[in-house]
Amino acid sequence: MAITSATAPGAIPAAGSRRAGILLFFAALVAFATFDAGSKQMLMRYPAPFLNIMRYLAVATLALGLLWRHGWPDLRAAPQKPLLILRGLMLATVGTCFMTALIWMPLSEATAIYFTSPLIMVALSPWLLGERVRPVQWMAVAAGFAGMLLIVRPGADLPALGTLLMAVSAISYAIFQVLTRKLSGKVAGPVQYAYTAFICLIVTALPAPFFLPDPWPDLTDMALIVGLGACSGLAQVLLIAAFQRVAAATLAPLNYFQLLLAVAFSTFWFQRPPDGLALTGIAMIMASGVFLALRRAG
């Protein structure tokens, strides 16, 4: 489950190698896709709340490192606290719904539904951000949603609960992005990141004691679970490094590479390739998202 430049602290482009930034971004997407696929594999044996808390322990550890690097800014003195808290709750909802949906959903279709969040953000922006959306952008949003309908169509044999959870995840992430836009320039990146990390840790910790694995993971599985958490943390480090070198507008269209990876993992790892109509829907979502990203970049 990838994040955009909005979630990465210090996402303002700095001097550096453009090529290195793009390579770092692709490495981050590979790490995110690997985390999603590995989590789906672990969900066959362990509860989603347990895997979620392990993930956000790694993310919170990264947040502590960033706060230390930036001189321990006072989180209590941060402006816009209600929006910061709501933003963290939205991402906690994303993580909880996404991880739970993967219990039943094929990885490719689940990721495709999640990647409608940029389309939802564009649809919400006139009312929540006061931005003008041009007719051609509305057409791209409509095409993307039509692609999603091809994926979740009757007869697609997708679980209703998993589909609903992924839709909630996509909507929550779109709201998260809108809130990030509202906070842009008002709250320092490391502070935003820390609020999000710690709120996600608290929220995912609430159900975790009721879903402890039985039996407890053996050493091999525990190493894999810890490795997945580290993979998630590494992905975010790579993403931060990428956005320090390359403008967000340049990298945004490349984000859909993760969706291609999800299709590949679903096909070759889980032996669950999307059918022809689902592939068409995935292609429509990708094309719409890339078009909107390029329009914003221009």
How big, in percent rounded to 5, are the helix, strand and coil portions of the chain?
75, 0, 25
Q: Please state, rounded to an integer, the average pLDDT across all residues of the chain.
A: 88
The torsion angles phi and psi of 36, rounded to 5 degrees, stand at -60, -45
Cα(137)–Cα(140) distance, rounded to whole angstroms? 5
Predicted confidence (pLDDT) at residue 298 exceeds the cutoff of 80: no
DSSP H or E segment with residue 221: helix 219-243
Q: Return the domain boundaries, the chain.
A: 5-297
Whether residue 52 contacts residue 208, with contact meaning beta carbons closer than 8 Å, is answered with: yes
pTM of the model: 0.86
pLDDT for residue 144: 92
Predicted confidence (pLDDT) at residue 10 exceeds the cutoff of 50: no
Q: What is the mean pLDDT of residues 82-89?
A: 94
Q: Count how many Cα atoms sit within 13 Å of the Cα of residue 44 in the half-sphere of its side chain.
A: 7
Q: What is the mean pLDDT of residues 223-250?
A: 84
Categorize the per-residue pLDDT at 16 as very low, low, confident or very high, splitting at 50, 70 and 90.
low
Q: What do you get for the CA distance between the two ends of the chain, in Å?
A: 26
pLDDT for residue 12: 47
pLDDT for residue 99: 94
Whether residue 104 contacts residue 270, with contact meaning beta carbons closer than 8 Å, is answered with: no
Q: Is residue 127 packed enough to be buried (19+ CB in 10 Å), middle (13-18) or exposed (0-12)? A: exposed
pLDDT for residue 132: 85
Based on C-alpha coordinates, what's the Rg of the chain?
A: 18
DSSP H or E segment with residue 69: helix 48-69
Predicted confidence (pLDDT) at residue 235 exceeds the cutoff of 80: yes
Residues 176-210: tens digit of each pLDDT: 888 888 887 788 888 988 999 999 999 999 999 99
Which of 19-23, 93-97, 283-287 is the least confident region? 19-23
User: E-assigned strands of the chain?
Assistant: none
Q: What six digits make up the tokens of 153?
A: 């169509």
Residues 155-173: tens digit of each pLDDT: 778 899 999 999 999 999 9
pLDDT for residue 11: 45
DSSP designation for 246? S
pLDDT for residue 2: 59
Cα(100)–Cα(97) distance, rounded to whole angstroms? 5
Contacts of 122 (CB under 8 A, 6+ apart): 133, 137, 140, 141, 292
